[in-house]
Structure 1
Amino acid sequence: MESKNKLLLVANPISGNSGNETLLKQLELEVAHRNLVLLKYETTGNESDDKKNILKYVITHHIRHILVMGGDGTIKFVAETIYNQDISIGILPAGSANGLASNLKLTDDVETQIQIALGAHSIAMDLLSINGHICLHIADVGINAELIENFENSPLRGKLGYALQTIPTLITSEYPYHFKIQTNNETLEKEGILIAIANAKQFGTGAMINPHGKLDDGVFEVVIFKKLDVVDIFKTLNQNSEMDSDFMEFRSTTKAVITSKKSISLQIDGEFIGKTTKIEASILQRKLKIMVPKDF
């Protein structure tokens, strides 16, 4: 069988819900209809072993297209494993957090997701390097990262788990923070509740935090949230709302250094990384070939 007829499916077995079984069955039917061979690998949670095993599949079977069934964490892991190679990725959103899928305008319809993942339309997507970690769409320091940290330390998963951590986070947070920000063109000092480093437009929740975001434009935005304002936060859920400059402001750049005297929580693509006083971010231009809808 020619290598171009072989696909590798990387699936996170603990990601998402029971609907993943239906997704897999429909995928297998479509792959058979196209006379393709589907190889499958389930992640184990041991990143070192998983990376070696995925690369072994890639080399042994000359894989040029990988399907990822999981959430942002699984996609990020696969991207970190293969982004320097000539391999495309098709996403089958199946996680509790599907922020990248939202930014790629993937629908909830399973059949459409499969057609896009196996399709012919792709972009060469930028990635971010943040303190040595790969970032697909959005990272931030401040109160949102604190919320994610508290959520990861709580026993309850899902949106309810996030909601229940909101009040404790607001009570214990030491915001506002004082930041020093260096970009390509300027150095500035700002006070705020969080700073986002955004390659994309929105969080997985649908909150629009970066209207300027484009996944393949060669730059990213530093988004400074100046204050905690409930009205303006709800405005981010309406993609047509104008953001008040007293609430947030933007800087487009290819690199940034953000420092704080206090150690602050950092999250990348919905995963708590740790506390830090310094964030170094830079763009990795057009590093990941990813499948998108025809009208993206």
Structure 2
Amino acid sequence: MADFSRVLMVVNPISGGKDKSDIIEEVEKQVSERNLELEIYYTSGKGDKEALFSIIEDYDPQRILSVGGDGTIKLIAELLTDDSIPIGIFPAGSANGLAENLNLDGNNAELTRIALGNKFRLIDAILINDELCLHISDIGLNAALIKNYQEGNIRGKLGYLIQSIPTLIKSDFPFQFKIEVDGKEISRKAVLIAVANAKKYGTGSKINPNGRYDDGKFEILIFKEFNIPQILQTFREHVNLDEDFLEIISAVEAKIFSQKNIPFQIDGEYRGDIKEVTARISPVKIKIAVP
């Protein structure tokens, strides 16, 4: 028997261009079998945070299920003030970076069992420009790709692929950065700088071999050049990246400055063209249901 009774399922109906009805049916089936209560909220992109805050206050869920991509998980996590409510993840977005890193994969029945199960992992979150980041944030070339993707009409990995060539043609890289960390200041030229807990992007590309979700630190990843052979290396099981391609710095707090405004993204969502990024470990950990 479950040690909880009230489940809230948050569904992003348009994420990844995927139909969510099969997931919803499986959750309803297993919830009914366990005699649990279920409330479903469909995001609309307008007023979701305020609406969910009210539902969480009134309904008092003991488990929250996220059906969407990293943005849906983040929406939920931003409303939780501690790690008392576990989040169950159904990867159903264009990019599912957190699920990819936590090995959350399988059919709907299996994912539902995991989401309603009793095995959890406490993960660190990063506050980036005072916004929660659960996966990877970056400034530079990848953020430019995400910006172009979100302005396009095609979703999923095909949409990213289609936008990759024009992004490379239009981007004025490398960029000049200044980084403040551990009381030191360094200058670097790079195509992008990422701030990450995760080992890899939702595409499966392993960019952060030192990444751990529970060590109280994050990594600053400085990609110094656009090197296709090295990029292809990141998709291998065992990654061996050249120091001329990638420099890694561990930190609990850092500031990154650019000489000019360049694209910036958090967890796969474009956040504008900016010059400054601040990052620090959040005092609140997130509780995720895992296999």
Relative to the length of structure 2, the TM-score reads 0.95
Alignment-derived partner of residue 104 in structure 1: 102
Distance 1:163 1:17 in 2: 16
Distance 1:241 1:4 in 2: 41
| 1:256 and 2:250 correspond | no
**Cα separation, partners in 2 of 1:112 and 1:190, compared to 1, 3 Å:** same
- In the TM superposition, residue 68 of structure 1 has moved relative to its aligned partner by 0.9
Alignment-derived partner of residue 208 in structure 2: 210
- SS of equivalent to 1:4: coil
- In the TM superposition, residue 286 of structure 1 has moved relative to its aligned partner by 4.8
**Equivalent residue letter for 1:113:** L
Q: Deviations over 1:139-179 (max 9, x none)?
A: 00111111111111222222222112111111111111111
Distance 1:237 1:85 in 2: 33
Alignment-derived partner of residue 144 in structure 2: 146
Once the two structures are overlaid, the 10-residue window that deviates more, 13-22 or 218-227, is 13-22
Distance 1:166 1:245 in 2: 24
Alignment-derived partner of residue 221 in structure 2: 223
Runs of 5+ unmatched residues, structure 2: none
**Cα separation, partners in 2 of 1:226 and 1:18, compared to 1, 3 Å:** closer
- SS of equivalent to 2:161: helix
Runs of 5+ unmatched residues, structure 1: none
Alignment-derived partner of residue 194 in structure 2: 196
Asked if structure 2 preserves the Cα contact closer than 8 Å seen for 1:68 and 1:75, the reply is: yes
Q: Deviations over 1:173-202 (max 9, x none)?
A: 111111111112532111111101011100
Distance 2:11 2:178 in 1: 40
Distance 2:121 2:205 in 1: 23
**Cα separation, partners in 2 of 1:210 and 1:85, compared to 1, 3 Å:** closer
Alignment-derived partner of residue 12 in structure 2: 12
Alignment-derived partner of residue 33 in structure 1: 33
Distance 1:108 1:27 in 2: 14
Among 37, 41, 55, the alignment partner of 2:53 is 55
Distance 2:3 2:235 in 1: 44
Q: Deviations over 1:39-97 (max 9, x none)?
A: 11111211xx3222222222222222111111111111111122446321111111122
Asked if structure 1 preserves the Cα contact closer than 8 Å seen for 2:8 and 2:64, the reply is: yes
- In the TM superposition, residue 136 of structure 1 has moved relative to its aligned partner by 0.8
CA RMSD in angstroms comes to 1.7
Asked if structure 2 preserves the Cα contact closer than 8 Å seen for 1:83 and 1:288, the reply is: no
Alignment-derived partner of residue 181 in structure 1: 179
**Cα separation, partners in 2 of 1:19 and 1:154, compared to 1, 3 Å:** closer
Asked if structure 2 preserves the Cα contact closer than 8 Å seen for 1:218 and 1:286, the reply is: no
Distance 1:125 1:102 in 2: 14
Once the two structures are overlaid, the 10-residue window that deviates more, 107-116 or 170-179, is 107-116
- SS of equivalent to 1:150: helix
Alignment-derived partner of residue 127 in structure 2: 129
- SS of equivalent to 2:125: strand
- SS of equivalent to 1:45: coil
Distance 1:50 1:56 in 2: 10
List 4+ stretches of structure 1 deviating above 3 A.
16-19
**Equivalent residue letter for 1:101:** A
- In the TM superposition, residue 17 of structure 1 has moved relative to its aligned partner by 4.8
- In the TM superposition, residue 224 of structure 1 has moved relative to its aligned partner by 0.5
